[in-house]
Amino acid sequence: MADTTETKGAANAAPDAHLLCGGYRNLARGRVLRLGGTIALLAILIVADILIGPAMLSVGDVLRTLFTPAQADPMTNVIVHDIRLPMTCMAVLVGMSLGTAGVHMQTILGNPLASPYTLGFSAAAGFGAALVILTGVSLPFVPWLTIPLAAFAMCAAAAALVFAFARMRGMSPEIMVLAGIATLFMFQSAQSLVQYLASPEVLQSIVFWLFGSLLKASWANVPIVAVIFAVCSFAVLPNLWQLTALRLGDARAAAIGVNVQGLRIKLFGLVALLTSGAVAFVGTIGFVGLVAPHIARMLVGEDQRLLLPMSALMGAITMTGASVLSKLVSPGGVIPIGIVTALIGVPFLFFLILRSQRRNW
């Protein structure tokens, strides 16, 4: 009788296990398909960004210039390869860097509002650039690297400041958030002081840099951002399952063997590197690091194996879409992309607030 009962229980458990496995496979397949659709959307936006501009080009001209440049018109070749393609590549790389930095920040701090912008890293980079523009300091052999290096150095200093305060108080997420907010206000005040001291001509240059613009992109600086993003992406690959576990809370992650404090320190350094590399050449870009991870999380969930690439892709889509929108709004003109990303990010932030309220109700 006992054997019969056990046999029936095993027979009933087998279909349940099969259904669970089938459900998980369907869920994973759906998430992978969304990831593929996101890649396709980004490809369309990249072509559109290269296509749109003061000199309107056809799709055939753009594709021919991209894939067979020897057969393309020389003028079209210059427009695509020397002017528009570097700006598009920079938009993609900056968006991917900020999207990745944002999801790292939200993961290690457990705070949905955490991002490089809201915790002061971008403000610090802006202060470094503004200070160099005000003083007129220039490097002797590579003057074009002066402003990016100053922005990079100040962003690293802000990260070190937040890290130092958090380290003194135990590296808790709450302390890191508070230290980041204090750093944000400090460097924003320093930016205001520099703008107050600047002459009208210098002030115009400072404000234009702080707004964020892709016009600074060139084939000299695009590879730098690409290398920084690639290094930071490969560095985090061994920690994907640990990051997924960290979303369950520090106590549960530590219980399954995650070195929470060491992981938080490593990710904090990578966030600082990604942010400084992204904003050093294009200026202050807000809301991309905040918006992209939330959209990615809604599409693929918390599994970092899919969340990280999806967040990077959504950051790239946000930046490239903002570039396309700025060209459509002002054909032939220059609208700083930082303004457009803020206009996109603020409504989405309101949407997140309303969505969280519905869940609470």
Q: Which of 62, 36, 34 is nearest to 48 (CA)?
A: 62
Note whether residue 26 is domain-resident: no
Note whether residue 212 is domain-resident: yes
- Positive or negative CA dihedral for 230, 236, 237, 241? negative
CA distance 135 to 132: 5
Q: What is the number of other CB atoms lying within 10 angstroms of the CB of residue 112?
A: 14
Range of the domain at 216: 42-106+113-356
pLDDT at 96: 94
Counting the structural domains of the chain, the total is 1
pLDDT at 65: 82
CA distance 361 to 358: 5
Helix, strand, or coil (residue 320): helix
Burial profile 271-310: b = 16 or more Cβ within 10 angstroms, e = fewer: bbbbbbbbbbbbbbbbbbbbbbbbbbbebbbebbebbbbb
The CATH number assigned to the domain holding 95 equals: 1.10.3470.10
Note whether residue 36 is domain-resident: no
pLDDT at 361: 39
Note whether residue 289 is domain-resident: yes
Helices and strands, counts by H and E, the chain: 15, 0
Task: Show pLDDT as tens, one digit a residue, over the chain (361 residues).
Answer: 445 554 545 445 455 555 556 666 777 777 788 888 899 999 999 988 888 877 777 778 787 887 777 777 788 888 888 888 899 999 999 999 999 999 988 888 877 778 888 788 888 888 888 898 888 888 887 787 888 888 888 888 888 888 788 777 766 777 878 888 888 899 989 989 999 988 888 888 888 888 888 888 888 889 999 999 999 999 998 888 888 888 777 778 888 888 888 888 888 888 888 888 888 888 888 788 888 898 888 888 888 888 999 999 999 999 999 888 888 877 666 677 888 887 877 777 777 667 655 554 3
Note whether residue 65 is domain-resident: yes
Note whether residue 31 is domain-resident: no
Note whether residue 265 is domain-resident: yes
pLDDT at 7: 52
Note whether residue 246 is domain-resident: yes
